[in-house]
Amino acid sequence: MSGEEDKQNITLNPFEIAKRQIDIVAKMTNLNPDLIEIIKHPKRILEVSIPVRMDDGKLRVFTGYRVQHNDARGPFKGGIRYHFQVDLDEVKALATWMSIKTAVVDIPYGGGKGGIICNPKEMSQPELERMTRRFTWEISGIIGPFRDIPAPDVNTNPQTMAWIMDTYSMSTGRATPGVVTGKPIALGGSLGRNEATSRGVVICAREAAKITGVKLKDATVAITGYGNVGYNAAWLIEELGAKVVACSDSKGGIYDPNGLDARKVRKHKSKTGSVKGYAGAKDIAGKDIIGLDVDFLFPCALENEITSENVDQVKARIISEGANGPTTPEADEVIFKKGIFLVPDILANAGGVTVSYFEWLQNIRREYWTEEAVNEKLEYRMVKAFHEVHDIAKKETVHMRTAAYVLAVGRIATVMELRGLYP
């Protein structure tokens, strides 16, 4: 590997990025350096082998991870990702960001994350079920409604959560819905959970628009990723009068300056497997979405979408990050200097974990809340967190990501200080 390649790999390693972001806070504040050091290390990492009998009778052994980053403020909380690019450093970063995120929106959780290296698009439902159940069994000793509560992430969904809930419940001998969130409604899922992450992305975009003076009516929006987060963000921002002019998935992108129809694009994708080829829109390369001249950009796919390589092309006035880790620290600085208002992932996409918390509360209290009640509570928490972060950003003249870290790391460190070091 050349020196340049080596540097690039370090720059794009999400766990290195997560640690650098914590270091930035350490330099800015007078938090106890010992606590900062602890926060930079995940508390527990479990790697498991997952043998699965495939439909053709052959055996395959998958590798899975559960990383428990920090539980000073409450049980570990975070999704499970199925993707061929899952690796341990990615899971460690995502777990760290979960601890930060739960602290930004001030819910009584820590952070964790899981993943399995697999290509779910090439697996049948029975194969996915067998893999999920065996993975759950392997991690069942460290999860639980008061220990560590998984949820959906890329390529996992309410059905995956139902299998985890059932497998875990078999091991405890009683129905334990609170062990996962993002479940189907019939199984104790919460109304509003499916769209919650995107609702948060859109609430943050709306608040940022008020501050920057961008009008939502007829504003233009570009979205990368058209899964749970990207699609729901598309129709939600349309409801506020904006036009989604471009979107993409792993196969490519589409562009129509007159505005797409979010639900029709979704139908087209369900039929054909991609947003590409949507009638009336122009097919474009997925990577071109980042550079479109739009009012809002919602990166809703994977990490490292906006990097030092393409940040100069960004023309959006507001970025609200649906994905985790879509912008590298180098790109963050350029965006800040360009005067673009960026709402960072740890705030913008925290609506998902916030409604996961509401789901968990409903499960442990055996209650059911209406969708209006859920959305109202989500709105309150997101707006409050947004302005707490924005107040720090203004006071310290830093960008919103650093401000969010200052708030979150401060909250985690305060609790750790009070609890003290065991033994």
Active-site positions?
113
Q: Does residue number 14 form part of the binding site for ligand NDP (CB under 6 A)?
A: no
Give least dist CB 172 to ligand NDP, A. 26
* 224 makes contact with ligand NDP (CB under 6 A): yes
Q: Does 286 bind ligand NDP (CB under 6 A)?
A: yes
Backbone angles phi, psi at 201, to 5 degrees: -60, -45
Contact between 328 and ligand NDP by CB under 6 A: the answer reads no
Pick from 24, 39, 154, 342: which binds ligand NDP (CB under 6 A)?
154
Report the distance separating Cα 252 and Cα 283, nearest Å.
7
How far is 290 from 286, CA to CA, in rounded Å? 8
CB nearer ligand NDP, residue 350 or residue 393: 350
Q: How far apart (Å, rounded) are the C-alpha atoms in residues 103 and 106?
A: 5
> Which range in 52-60, 158-166, 244-252, 260-268 contacts ligand NDP by CB under 6 A?
244-252
Select 251 or 377, whichever has its Cβ closest to ligand NDP.
Answer: 251
E-state strands within 5-121: 44-53, 59-70, 76-83, 111-117
Write out the H or E segment, with its range, that includes residue 128: helix 125-139
Among 127, 129, 148, 153, binds ligand NDP (CB under 6 A): 153
87 touches ligand NDP (CB under 6 A):
no
Does 99 bind ligand NDP (CB under 6 A)? Our answer is: no
DSSP structure class, residue 313: G
Q: Which residue in 352, 362, 393, 412 binds ligand NDP (CB under 6 A)? A: 352
User: Under the phi-then-psi rule, with left for phi > 0, alpha for psi from -120 to 50, and beta for the rest, what region is 74?
Assistant: left
**Cα 234 from Cα 199, distance rounded (Å):** 10
Asked if residue 323 binds ligand NDP (CB under 6 A), the reply is: yes
Q: 324, 306, 365, 319: which is closest to 197 by C-alpha?
A: 324
Q: Are strands 44-53 and 341-343 parallel, antiparallel or unpaired?
A: unpaired
Stretch that binds ligand NDP, among 34-42, 296-304, 375-383, 410-418 (CB under 6 A): 296-304
- Residue 160 as a binder of ligand NDP (CB under 6 A): the answer is no
Residues of this chain that interact with ligand NDP (CB under 6 A) are 152-155, 197, 224-230, 248-251, 286, 300-302, 322-324, 349, 352
